[in-house]
Amino acid sequence: MSKPDFLPFTRPTLDEATIQGVVEVLRSGWITSGPQVKAFEAAVSSMLGGRPVRAFNSGTGTMEVALRIMGVGPGDEVITTPLSWVATSNVVLAVGARPVFVDIDPVTRNIDLSRIEAAITPRTKALLPVDLAGLPVDRERLYAIARRHKLRVLEDAAQSFGSRYGGELVGAGGDLVSFSFHPNKNVTSIEGGCLVLNDGREAQLAEQYRLQGVVRSGFDGMEVEVAGGKFNLTDVAARVGLGQLPHLQAFNGRRTQLSQLYFREFAARDAAGSGLGLPMPDFTHSNWHMFQVMLPGERLTIPRAAVMEQMHAAGIGTGVHYPAIHLFALYRAQGWNPGDFPHAEYAGRNILTLPLFPSMQEADVTRVVETLMRILAAARR
């Protein structure tokens, strides 16, 4: 019997039309920022009701620029979650401000909105929530807090492109919204991201900050008013993004189907009885960017790394999204300590991302669940 192919935890789906479109861009000779970037921005803007959109070379660059547009800088504080990719807090440091962490809700795994107001100080300038695994933070409660305290909001929606809240797509409303199009996201532009803005003034500032602060006029006019960076998206990447956008609904629909199957397969094997924690079964709002389980670490004789190693040996890739940010050396040096955020720390030790991507087959889900449950049963205390 042949050994099954290795199943990664994610894999992008690129159609032939997109590949040929990239070839055409390469042959055109215009491969850096140009007409494809403008077309990509327009397409995303159209999806989000016409809001201004500017494309960037990463979802990290979008957030740094967003904070600069908001005027966040030295002496300011930004409240965020400790359970995210470290870029979420690194961009706060990049503008000279201080990230202030608030523990997560163990059910949604998003920032616990009930804890935010206790963390607000006179130095707080903005809120920076994250839609972990594509599940949107409760926008109604979030913006009620922001309004009460006159705070800006930067939505780290890197994982929730195509998710919905209040009947509309994430990004169609709200303050500044940042998306990522990294290869592990629901749609990709290879590397890239976009920032959704409120008006033309903010859009112009975003353009300045993403390319050295330069403003051009006429054939030879150039002015620099702000210290920008190098965050522009290439036309090659934008063409990939343009090819992906028409498939977003189908991609997310398939992710939802596979996630529903995960729940059925785990229920059939009494995952709850084993102590395995499943994600919140939200099939109305989430785009199911990731399917993450919580290992019952206290009931196992082996650590998570050993579980992952055994999964890999069985031909199945897994991931960790994410270690608790405040426990990294960089953030411990700023005064954060183990025990500060117990829910995020528990997740950081035990969360495990399972394979989920549109080209997966139903048999793949069954194989993942059977393998994981077999490993956990053998390692039970």
Is there a contact between 126 and 146 (Cβ–Cβ < 8 Å)? Answer: no
Long-range contacts of 211-216 (CB under 8 A, 24+ apart): 211/33
DSSP, collapsed to helix, strand or coil, labels residue 223 as strand
Alpha-carbon distances of 340 from 174, 325, 337, rounded to whole Å: 30, 11, 6
Catalytic residue among 3, 38, 125, 185: 185
Cα–Cα dist 68/62, whole Å: 10
User: What SS3 class is residue 79?
Assistant: strand
CB contact burial 44-80 (16+ within 10 A = b; e otherwise): bbebbeebbbbbbbbbbbbbbbbbbbbebeeebbbbb
With contact defined as beta carbons under 8 Å apart, do 195 and 181 qualify?
Answer: no
Instruction: Mark whether 38 is an active-site residue.
Output: no
Which ranges constitute the DSSP H helices of the chain?
A: 16-28, 35-47, 59-70, 87-94, 116-119, 139-149, 200-210, 235-244, 248-268, 271-274, 304-313, 329-332, 342-350, 362-378
Q: Are 67 and 78 in contact (CB under 8 A)?
A: yes
Neighbours of 359 (CB within 10 A): 10
Residues designated catalytic: 185
